[in-house]
C-alpha cells in the first residue's frame, strides 16, 4: 500500500521562500540602536562626575562637550555645534531619543557654540531627562526634564525645565547621536 504525500503548489513554495528571504535580509530605514542596546554606564558617569569635581576644585571651567563625551562614550571633539556634522559616517544619528544618546543642540544667539546633553531617561514619546554640564554655569545638571515642543513631534525643538516649576525657552535640536 502506498502513501500519497500532499503536495503544495510550487508557486506557493517559491512565494513563501521569497518572503522569508526578504524578511531576513531587510533592514530598518534608519540604522538606530534598539532601546535595550543603549544605556548609560554608571561607572562611566561616576568617572565623569569625579572629573568635574576635580576641575571645580582647581577653579577650572566645566564644559558640556567633555562631560557628554565622557558619559556617552561618543568620542567627538570640538565645539558642540560641530558634533552633528562630525558624527556623520562614524556614529548613527536620528530623531529618536534613546538612553545614552547625545542630544545635539543647534547654534543660536543664546548658545553660540551649541550644546550637547546625554539622554538619561526616556519618560514618554514627548519627554526625556538629560544629564549635562554647563547649562547652569560651571555646574552639572542630572535628570533635567526636557519636552519636545516641535510642531511635527520630531524632537527638532525642545524646552528644558531649568527652574523647579517652569520650562524655559525653546531651543532648536539637530537630533540624537547614538553611541556604538
What is the DSSP annotation of 61-99?
Answer: PP-HHHHHHHHH-----S-GGGHHHHHTTTSEEESS--T
Q: What is the pLDDT of residue 52?
A: 65
| pLDDT score of 27 more than 60 | no
Q: At what angle do helices 64-72 and 42-57 cross, to 10 degrees?
A: 150
* Cα gap 112→162, rounded to integer Å: 19
The percentage of residues in the chain with a pLDDT greater than 90, rounded to a whole number, is: 59
| Location of C-alpha cell 576635580 | 54
Confidence of residue 163 (pLDDT cuts 50, 70, 90): confident
Are 93 and 103 in contact by the 8 Å Cβ rule? The answer is no
Mean pLDDT (whole number) for 66-84 = 95
Higher pLDDT, 47 or 164: 164
> Quick one: 35-178 is in which CATH superfamily?
endopeptidase domain like (from Nostoc punctiforme) (3.90.1720.10)
Exposed/middle/buried for 91, CB within 10 Å: 0-12, 13-18, 19+? buried
The percentage of residues in the chain with a pLDDT greater than 70, rounded to a whole number, is: 73
Buried b (16+ CB within 10 A) or exposed e, 44-68: ebeebbeebeebeeeeeebbbbbbb
Domain ranges of the chain: 35-178
pTM, full prediction? 0.75
Mean pLDDT (whole number) for 84-105 = 97
| pLDDT score of 128 more than 50 | yes
Q: What is the pLDDT of residue 39?
A: 62
Q: What is the pLDDT of residue 38?
A: 53
Q: What is the pLDDT of residue 164?
A: 85
Are 54 and 132 in contact by the 8 Å Cβ rule? The answer is no
HSE at residue 144, side-chain half, CA atoms within 13 A, is: 24
- Work out the mean pLDDT of the chain and round it to a whole number: 81
| pLDDT score of 32 more than 60 | no
Amino acid at each position: 500500500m502506498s502513501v500519497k504525500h500532499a503536495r503544495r503548489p510550487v508557486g506557493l513554495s517559491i512565494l513563501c521562500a521569497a518572503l522569508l528571504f526578504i524578511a531576513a535580509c531587510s533592514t530598518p530605514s534608519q540604522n538606530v540602536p534598539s532601546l535595550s542596546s543603549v544605556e548609560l554606564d554608571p561607572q562611566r558617569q561616576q568617572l565623569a562626575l569625579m572629573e568635574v569635581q576635580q576641575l571645580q576644585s582647581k577653579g577650572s571651567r566645566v564644559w558640556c562637550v567633555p562631560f557628554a563625551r565622557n558619559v556617552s562614550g561618543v568620542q567627538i571633539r570640538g565645539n558642540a555645534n560641530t558634533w552633528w556634522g562630525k558624527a556623520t559616517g562614524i556614529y548613527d544619528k536620528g530623531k529618536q531619543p534613546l538612553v545614552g544618546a547625545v542630544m545635539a543642540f543647534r547654534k543660536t544667539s543664546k548658545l553660540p557654540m551649541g550644546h550637547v546633553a546625554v539622554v538619561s531617561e526616556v519618560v514618554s514619546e514627548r519627554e526625556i531627562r538629560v544629564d549635562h554640564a554647563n547649562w547652569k554655569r560651571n555646574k552639572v545638571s542630572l535628570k533635567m526634564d526636557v519636552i519636545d515642543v516641535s510642531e511635527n513631534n520630531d524632537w527638532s525643538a525642545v524646552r528644558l525645565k531649568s527652574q523647579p516649576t517652569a520650562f524655559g525657552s525653546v531651543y532648536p535640536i539637530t537630533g540624537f547621536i547614538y553611541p556604538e
